[in-house]
Amino acid sequence: MTAIIDIKGLTKRYKTITAVDDLTLSVEEGSIYGFVGPNGAGKTTTMQVLTTLLKPTAGEAFVAGYSVTRNPRDVRRVIGYMPDFFGVYDDMKVWEYLDFFAACYDIPESDRPPLIADLLALVDLSHRADDMVDGLSRGMKQRLCLARTLTHDPQVLILDEPASGLDPRARVEIRQLLVELAGMGKTVFFSTHILADVQEICTQVGIIEAGKLVMQGDIEDMQRQLIPYREVVITLIGGADKAKDFLFAYEGVQVVEDRSADNGRSRLHVTMAGDDMAVSQLLAAMVAAEFPVMHFTEETRDLESVFMRATKGIVS
Amino acid sequence: MSESLSYFRKRSRIGAFVRRNPVALKELRGRMRGSRAFAVLTVYVTLMGLFTASLYLIYSASTTLTLTTSGGIIGKLIFGGVVAIELFLVCFVSPAFTAGAISGEQERRTLSLLRTTLLPARRIVIGKLLSALAYNVLLLIVAVPLQSLAFLMGGVTIEEVVLSIEILLVTAIAYGAIGIFFSAVTRRTLTASILTYTAILLTTVVMPIVSFILFLLSPLGGNFAYGRTVFESILLAVFWLSTALNPVAAAVSTEVVLLSKGTVILFTHRLAYGLNIPLISSWIPYTIFYLMLTVILIALTIRIIRRYGAD
């Protein structure tokens, strides 16, 4: 796969603050890239450089092969940008809002009506076409804003916190839209605080902290890198003492914790090294040793634990 | 899809020129939407009508002459009164439309959206200026019936009408450009408005006073006998240049020259020692100066918008 966004040694310095520090990052074409980091990590600054709004202090960034500093107009042609706020124009109808931005992208007047109708249908706002933008709910405004980014059919969508401040339903709708857009062949590069969203839809993740990229890759890769051990929860009928002795003696097991249990059951939390086969063999060994195993499951490690492990809570 | 397109049929027909600039179209749509625009224009025309009627009544009451003999003076009075109000409006309304043009986009945080589109900074600035100018032109057009009353009464020449419109338009464009420049410089509409109106007050109140003092001192005022041709010439030139810097003095001196010399372009003034100094009517240097200022301010505004984010 080719990189549609390619950032090389990007640095953006304000008077005394270095917002982005020698950042190198690449986003594959057609991927949904989650750009994750604490507040003040440099996510918005990076996006503003990519969208030609800010000039970098050092380094280079390319979108679809165009340099953001040398070919800003070409970059603008291939990107759709949604900032972390909703820019509202007073006294504007929904269709006028899209018509205005379509005109800003030099789309001929005769092509705009069908385009706007399609975009409104995509974001499920056809029934609000004649309403004033001010009267829309936050979720609807966010969807309208997303439709705005698509007026010129860009290859890359750069979305800064597209789901922030939305209720759960609106969040799910935005998430579904992003997946739909990726299905249409667009590359989605979005920043977020909501790790569940990243875990749910992203094919690539980058974690940034204090202006530096801490990690990049797919989520499973990151999990393997950051948390090399496996965690298994075993529920047994009866006492757990014998099982604990067995587990301590088993190769690869590092920690065994006795967790609370009831109804005559006991629950053990096992931390062990090894791959999927090793986990499977442990279950087989316990059954072979006639331990009354009721439940055997590997504890899933969510992105939150990856994020907490990758970042140190530093803000530049 | 035809249902979802029905809203496009309601679109009003606006000139193709404005349509080509999305910013101008958006601004005009917003400004003319609903009953507000209609109400503002109605109040404006009503007030202008009342003003014109009171001018007529005051003059009629203060003279015993019949209408036929005083018609020319009444005509001139009405024309001058309407133009003076229009000039006042243009001076103070034009910058009101533009002083928040760029800073308002900053405050609404929509400027960055515009800057990531293919719309060049040049078209943003021109669009803002064009929409402000269009509204000003509308205000001037709706006052035409009142001005035409002056023609019924006589005493107003076509040169006066054309030049008054010319000075009003140049003022509208230039003051609009001053507003848009400050709105790009300051990023806050309140500060931009304060700076703009300070500049406007300087040119519409302070400068005419300076021009008047210079007039009294100059050979045209006729109050002093200098006795030295060079000094006299310099004072004349300084006064004449000062009229090019403000609309009030430009309009008044153009009218005075038209009435006294019967020309709107070139004339000569004879100094005390017999030297004839050639001069041009004030509206010409005024137009040249303010149009040049407009071009410079627009260029600077475009440059400022382009440079946002470069630091």
- Distance from the Cα of A155 to chain B's closest Cα (Å) equals 14
Does A94 reside within a domain?
no
Token pair of A289 as six digits: 């040793």
Q: Does A73 touch chain B (CB under 8 A)?
A: yes
| Residue in A96, A123, A145 to test binding to B, most B beta-carbons within 10 Å | A96
Query: Which residue of chain B has the CA closest to A148?
Result: B113
Question: The domain containing residue A210 runs over which residues?
Answer: 3-89+135-224
Secondary structure (DSSP) of A99-141: HHHHHHTT--GGGHHHHHHHHHHHTT-GGGTTSBGGGS-HHHH
Q: Which of A183, A202, A224 is the last residue of a domain?
A: A224
- Shared domain for A182 and A286, answered yes or no, is no
Q: Which chain A positions have a beta carbon within 8 Å of B113's beta carbon?
A: 81, 83, 87, 101, 148
- Shared domain for A158 and A217, answered yes or no, is yes
Contact assignment for A100 to B310 by CB distance below 8 Å: no
Query: Which residue of chain B has the CA closest to A91?
Result: B30
Contact assignment for B113 to A85 by CB distance below 8 Å: no
Query: Which residue of chain B has the CA closest to A128?
Result: B4
Candidates B1, B114, B117; nearest CB to A117: B1
- Shared domain for A192 and A234, answered yes or no, is no
Query: Which residue of chain A has the CA closest to B32?
Result: A91
Candidates B7, B26, B34; nearest CB to A100: B26
Contact assignment for B108 to A114 by CB distance below 8 Å: no
Does A125 reside within a domain?
no
Contact assignment for B30 to A92 by CB distance below 8 Å: yes
| Residue in B33, B116, B307 to test binding to A, most A beta-carbons within 10 Å | B116
Does A160 reside within a domain?
yes
Does A263 reside within a domain?
yes
Q: Which of A168, A198, A224 is the last residue of a domain?
A: A224
- Shared domain for A78 and A162, answered yes or no, is yes
Does A248 reside within a domain?
yes
- Shared domain for A148 and A275, answered yes or no, is no
A-B interface: how many C-beta pairs under 8 angstroms?
Answer: 81
Candidates B4, B19, B108; nearest CB to A117: B4
Contact assignment for A103 to B30 by CB distance below 8 Å: no
Q: What is the ipTM metric for this complex?
A: 0.79
Q: Does A54 touch chain B (CB under 8 A)?
A: yes
**pLDDT in 10s for each residue of chain B, 311 residues:** 444 445 444 454 556 666 788 999 888 888 888 788 888 889 988 998 898 888 888 887 776 555 455 557 788 888 888 899 888 888 888 888 889 889 998 888 888 899 999 999 999 999 999 988 888 888 888 888 888 887 777 778 888 888 999 999 999 999 999 999 999 998 889 999 999 999 999 988 898 888 888 888 776 766 666 566 677 778 788 888 888 888 988 998 888 888 888 888 888 877 766 778 888 888 999 999 999 999 999 999 999 998 875 54
- Shared domain for A65 and A149, answered yes or no, is yes
Does A116 reside within a domain?
no
Does A108 reside within a domain?
no
Q: What is the CATH number of the domain that holds A217?
A: 3.40.50.300
Candidates A73, A83, A109; nearest CB to B112: A83
- Shared domain for A212 and A237, answered yes or no, is no
**pLDDT in 10s for each residue of chain A, 316 residues:** 688 999 999 999 988 888 999 999 999 999 999 998 888 889 999 999 999 999 999 999 999 999 999 999 999 999 999 998 877 776 789 999 999 999 999 999 899 999 999 999 998 899 999 999 988 888 888 889 999 999 999 999 999 988 877 888 888 888 888 999 999 999 999 998 777 778 888 888 998 988 888 888 887 777 666 666 788 899 988 877 888 888 888 888 888 888 776 777 888 889 888 778 888 999 999 999 888 998 999 876 666 666 776 676 554 4
Contact assignment for A79 to B7 by CB distance below 8 Å: no
Contact assignment for A109 to B118 by CB distance below 8 Å: no
Q: In chain A, how many domains are there?
A: 2
Q: Which chain B positions have a beta carbon within 8 Å of A53's beta carbon?
A: 112, 115-116, 308-309
Q: Give the pLDDT of residue B235.
A: 79
Q: Which chain A positions have a beta carbon within 8 Å of B118's beta carbon?
A: 73, 76-77, 104-106, 152
State the distance between the two ends of chain A, measured CA to CA, in whole angstroms.
Answer: 33
- Shared domain for A175 and A290, answered yes or no, is no
- Distance from the Cα of B57 to chain A's closest Cα (Å) equals 42
- Shared domain for A16 and A74, answered yes or no, is yes
| Residue in B4, B27, B109 to test binding to A, most A beta-carbons within 10 Å | B4
CB-CB contact of A292 with A308 (8 Å)? no
- Shared domain for A278 and A241, answered yes or no, is yes
Element (H, E) at A168: helix A168-183
- Distance from the Cα of B188 to chain A's closest Cα (Å) equals 16
Q: Does A108 touch chain B (CB under 8 A)?
A: no
- Shared domain for A244 and A217, answered yes or no, is no
CB-CB contact of A50 with A27 (8 Å)? no
Q: Which chain A positions have a beta carbon within 8 Å of B108's beta carbon?
A: 87-89
Contact assignment for B26 to A105 by CB distance below 8 Å: no
Q: Give the pLDDT of residue B221.
A: 67
Q: What is the CATH number of the domain that holds A281?
A: 3.30.70.260
- Shared domain for A27 and A159, answered yes or no, is yes
pLDDT one-digit tens code per residue, B90-105: 888 888 888 988 999 8
How far does CA B139 lie from the centroid of its chain?
A: 12
pLDDT one-digit tens code per residue, A191-228: 987 777 788 888 889 989 888 888 888 877 776 666 66
Does A217 reside within a domain?
yes
Q: Which of A224, A247, A276 is the last residue of a domain?
A: A224
CB-CB contact of A206 with A216 (8 Å)? yes
Secondary structure (DSSP) of chain B: -TTTTGGGGG-----HHHHT-HHHHHHHHHHHSHHHHHHHHHHHHHHHHHHHHHHHHHHHHH--S-HHHHHHHHHHHHHHHHHHHHHHHHHHHHHHHHTTHHHHHHHTT-HHHHHTSS--HHHHHHHHHHHHHHHHHHHHHHTHHHHHHHHHH----HHHHHHHHHHHHHHHHHHHHHHHHHHHHHS-HHHHHHHHHHHHHIIIIIHHHHHHHHHHHSTTT-------HHHHHHHHHHHHHHHTT-HHHHHHHHHHHHHHHS-SSEEEEE-TTSPEEEEE-THHHHHHHHHHHHHHHHHHHHHHHHHTT--
Q: Which chain A positions have a beta carbon within 8 Å of B310's beta carbon?
A: 55
